[in-house]
């Protein structure tokens, strides 16, 4: 159901700037998928008991396996400056590494409390790296949610790794962004079918697979929220392959095509590698799209996936976008996505939750994509919702997951259709929880 390519799409659409109360998770949430991806890494959050509870709630209780994350709790005496937090942090890290000799990479993750008291985790990481080298590499980044959204935790983590990546002069492709292993393997298989085999990944599954980078490195992003990592790689001399993101059959094809062009892959070889999986994806998406066609969608700013997903839903699933909100609009990374997204929706950057709630109530879209804190109040008002965070936790990239991605949006509509005969009249407007 691909529409003809528009000439400029939403490239010149004015962007509504929003600055007010926000309803988003913090960057600590990224640890949940990063610790699963990086198999010999440990993420030590320097934060409060609330930070610890967030991680435990988001990850679930792991009974049979010790997770690769934890929290160094900042007590009242630390917050009041009555204790040497650096000394205490050294002691906790020593205890952790003596108990977990399997750790090869340790990330000190800042939080809102550690940033408020100006705890210098960069200095701590440098000191610990010297002490524990070469067995353990210690890095730091901020997972604070003071001015960020939850996906920026991954961006900050990967950006912190770039300065210490080894140097290389080899021509190679670097795939950037955390993917489930099975999805990453699918991407590598597609590239191999085109003859592109000099491929590394950031993050790597294990520290000994850490990629090198240099002036002959070209990189392709698989996630749209990696602005800082993008800048860090450019600073190391690498070159970005600009492309739409690999969501849906169309996005995956255009992403692969950009890489194929860079490596001089012929049209015949490209078609042979992509024709069958693309046809499967298009057929599977078309079946799901029967539920989504002609339905309207409203995106609250949450994950920075909003613009690529709006492109997928409108171009491949026949939906109509009313508003596409995103926490931050990175023009360089979104240029091709905006060109593909047909004119029509309001584009907004940032959040003022009260104003956006007013607009969604006026628009009454068929589907609202938003955070957990807004979903229940909107459902109580008779609006179907989709949790934005689920789109990050779930495998959604490349051909084989295209129909699964569409199904994530179709399920709330199917559920509402099934429950409609049983539903009571819509209640009064409820305000989002503080």
Task: Determine the pLDDT at residue 426.
Answer: 55
Average predicted confidence (pLDDT) for the chain:
90
When computed from its CA atoms, the radius of gyration of the chain, rounded to whole angstroms, is 22
Q: Is the pLDDT of residue 434 over 60?
A: no
Task: Determine the pLDDT at residue 86.
Answer: 86
Average pLDDT over residues 272-293: 97
Model pTM? 0.90
Handedness of CA 61, 63, 65, 70 (dihedral sign): positive
Q: Is the pLDDT of residue 431 over 70?
A: no
Torsion angles phi and psi, residue 45, rounded to 5: -80, 130
Task: Determine the pLDDT at residue 3.
Answer: 47
Q: Is the pLDDT of residue 273 over 90?
A: yes
Task: Determine the pLDDT at residue 424.
Answer: 61
Torsion angles phi and psi, residue 388, rounded to 5: -65, -35
Q: Is the pLDDT of residue 62 over 70?
A: no
Average pLDDT over residues 38-44: 94
**Strand (E) or helix (H) holding 414:** helix 402-419
Average pLDDT over residues 86-115: 92
Average pLDDT over residues 72-97: 81
Confidence category of residue 63, pLDDT binned at 50, 70, 90: very low
Task: Determine the pLDDT at residue 81.
Answer: 64
Task: Determine the pLDDT at residue 64.
Answer: 47
Apex 276 CA angle, 273 and 279, nearest 5:
130
Task: Determine the pLDDT at residue 253.
Answer: 98
Q: Tens digit of pLDDT for each residue in 166-179?
A: 999 999 999 999 99
* Strand arrangement, sheet containing 385-387: 15-19, 346-351, 320-326, 296-299, 367-370, 385-387
Confidence category of residue 362, pLDDT binned at 50, 70, 90: very high
Q: Is the pLDDT of residue 418 over 60?
A: yes
Confidence category of residue 8, pLDDT binned at 50, 70, 90: confident
Handedness of CA 267, 271, 274, 278 (dihedral sign): positive
Task: Determine the pLDDT at residue 314.
Answer: 97
Q: Is the pLDDT of residue 82 over 70?
A: no
Confidence category of residue 48, pLDDT binned at 50, 70, 90: confident
DSSP string, 188-217: HHHHHHTT---EEEES-SSGGGPPPB-TTE
Task: Determine the pLDDT at residue 26.
Answer: 84
157-188 residues labelled b (16+ CB within 10 A) or e (exposed):
bbbbbbeebeebeeebbbbbbbbbeebbebbe
Average pLDDT over residues 37-57: 88
Q: Could you give the domains of the chain?
A: 15-22+279-422 (3.40.50.1980), 27-148 (3.40.50.1980), 172-262 (3.40.50.1980)
- Name beta bridge partners: 297: 321, 367
Confidence category of residue 85, pLDDT binned at 50, 70, 90: confident
Q: Is the pLDDT of residue 93 over 50?
A: yes
Contact 178, 184 (CB under 8 A): no
Task: Determine the pLDDT at residue 259.
Answer: 98
Average pLDDT over residues 239-268: 98
Q: Tens digit of pLDDT for each residue in 147-156?
A: 778 889 999 9
Extract the tokens encoding 372.
Answer: 């957990």
Task: Determine the pLDDT at residue 432.
Answer: 44
Q: Tens digit of pLDDT for each residue in 302-351?
A: 999 999 999 999 999 999 999 999 999 999 999 999 999 999 999 999 98
Helix, strand, coil share of the chain (percent; to 5): 45, 15, 35
Q: Is the pLDDT of residue 297 over 80?
A: yes
| DSSP SS3 for 248 | helix
Q: Is the pLDDT of residue 4 over 50?
A: no
Check residue 422 and report its DSSP letter. G
For residue 402, CA distances in Å to 384, 396, 425 come to 22, 6, 35
Task: Determine the pLDDT at residue 78.
Answer: 64
Least confident of 39-53, 197-211, 271-285: 39-53
110 versus 423: the higher-pLDDT residue is 110
Task: Determine the pLDDT at residue 317.
Answer: 97
Handedness of CA 393, 395, 398, 402 (dihedral sign): negative
Q: In which residue are the tokens 């084989």 written?
A: 400
Confidence category of residue 56, pLDDT binned at 50, 70, 90: confident
């Amino acid at each position: 159901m691909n529409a003809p390519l528009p000439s400029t799409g939403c490239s010149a659409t004015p962007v509504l700037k929003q600055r007010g109360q926000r309803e988003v998770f913090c960057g600590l949430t990224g640890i949940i998928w990063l610790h699963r991806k990086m198999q010999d890494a440990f993420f030590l959050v320097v934060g409060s008991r609330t930070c610890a509870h967030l991680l435990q709630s988001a990850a679930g209780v792991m009974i049979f396996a010790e997770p690769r994350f934890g929290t160094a709790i900042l007590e009242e005496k630390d917050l009041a400056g009555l204790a040497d937090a650096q000394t205490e942090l050294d002691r906790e890290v020593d205890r952790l590494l003596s108990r977990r000799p399997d750790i090869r990479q340790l990330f000190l993750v800042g939080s809102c409390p550690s940033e408020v008291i100006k705890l210098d985790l960069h200095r701590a990481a440098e000191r610990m790296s010297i002490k524990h080298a070469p067995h353990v590499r210690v890095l730091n980044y901020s997972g604070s949610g003071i001015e960020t959204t939850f996906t920026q935790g991954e961006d900050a983590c990967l950006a912190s790794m770039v300065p210490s990546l080894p140097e290389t002069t080899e021509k190679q492709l670097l795939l950037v962004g955390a993917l489930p292993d099975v999805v990453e393997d699918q991407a590598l298989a597609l590239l191999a079918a085109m003859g592109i085999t000099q491929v590394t990944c950031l993050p790597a599954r294990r520290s000994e697979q850490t990629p090198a980078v240099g002036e002959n490195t070209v990189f392709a992003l698989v996630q749209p929220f990696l602005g800082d990592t993008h800048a860090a790689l450019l600073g190391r001399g690498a070159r970005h392959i600009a492309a739409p993101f690999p969501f849906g059959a169309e996005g995956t094809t255009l992403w692969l095509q950009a890489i194929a062009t860079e490596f001089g892959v012929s049209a015949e070889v490209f078609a042979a590698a992509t024709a069958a999986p693309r046809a499967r994806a298009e057929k599977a998406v078309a079946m799901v799209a029967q539920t989504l066609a002609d339905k309207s969608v409203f995106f609250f700013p949450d994950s920075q996936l909003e613009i690529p997903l709006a492109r997928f839903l409108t171009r491949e699933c026949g939906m109509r976008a009313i508003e596409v909100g995103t926490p931050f609009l990175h023009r360089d990374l979104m240029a091709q996505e905006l060109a593909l997204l047909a004119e029509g929706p309001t584009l907004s950057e940032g959040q003022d939750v009260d104003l956006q709630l007013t607009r969604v109530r006026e628009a009454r879209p068929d589907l609202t994509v938003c955070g957990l804190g807004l979903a229940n109040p909107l459902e109580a008002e008779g609006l179907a919702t989709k949790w934005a965070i689920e789109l990050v936790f779930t495998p959604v990239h490349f051909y084989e997951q295209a129909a699964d991605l569409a199904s994530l949006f179709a399920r709330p509509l199917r559920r509402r259709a099934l429950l409609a005969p049983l539903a009571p009249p819509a209640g009064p407007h409820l305000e989002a929880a503080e």
